Amino acid sequence: MPVRFSRLIKVFAPALLAGFVAAPIALADGHAVGQIETPIAERATGEDISAFLTGAKVKSLPDEGAEWKQTFYENGYTDFQFGRSRPSVGSWIVERDQYCSQWPPNLNWACYWVEISGDVIVWEAVDTGVREAARLVAQE
């Protein structure tokens, strides 16, 4: 499904998930999330990742400053919206216990280790180790 993307979304969507925002928030167990260094849980299995994300909508944590949200559809599509901009449409899969996404026009897939604690998910970029968190707001 070809979609024209604004330059803003092309630039910022991958950066946000790669961890370029860094305002921590505390979890009930005392861990801070946002851009974090300390694990909040063990790495999730592929089954856990699929169960958490399928049909889910997540959003940036309250104090990050950059407001965004992302929805994960059962058919493998995902949309990402930065602020009030038009959503970008990409694809997502779970492979080898990793969450992977692809955002046209880029044909490359980016993969992340995942940790899940309650309603918070943390992505850790496989290639850089940069960590980013979001909170579950809805699940179908």
pLDDT at 36: 54
Cross-strand partners of 72? 78
The 3-class secondary structure across the chain, one letter per residue, is CCCCCCHHHHHHHHHHHHCCCCCCEECCCCCEECCCCCCCCCECCHHHHHHHHCCEEEECCCCCCCCEEEEECCCCEEEEEECCCCCEEEEEEEECCEEEEECCCCCCCEEEEEEEECCEEEEEECCCCCEEEEEEEEEC
- Do residues 128 and 18 lie in contact, with contact meaning Cβ atoms separated by under 8 Å? yes
Torsion of CA 98, 10, 89, 65, to 10 degrees: 80
- Complete domains list, the chain, with CATH: 7-139 (2.40.128.640)
Cα separation, 15 vs 11, whole angstroms: 7
17-69 pLDDT, tens digit per residue, is 433 333 333 343 333 444 555 566 789 999 999 999 999 999 988 766 678 99
pLDDT at 1: 36
- Whole-model pTM? 0.71
How many Cβ atoms sit within 10 Å of the Cβ of residue 46?
15
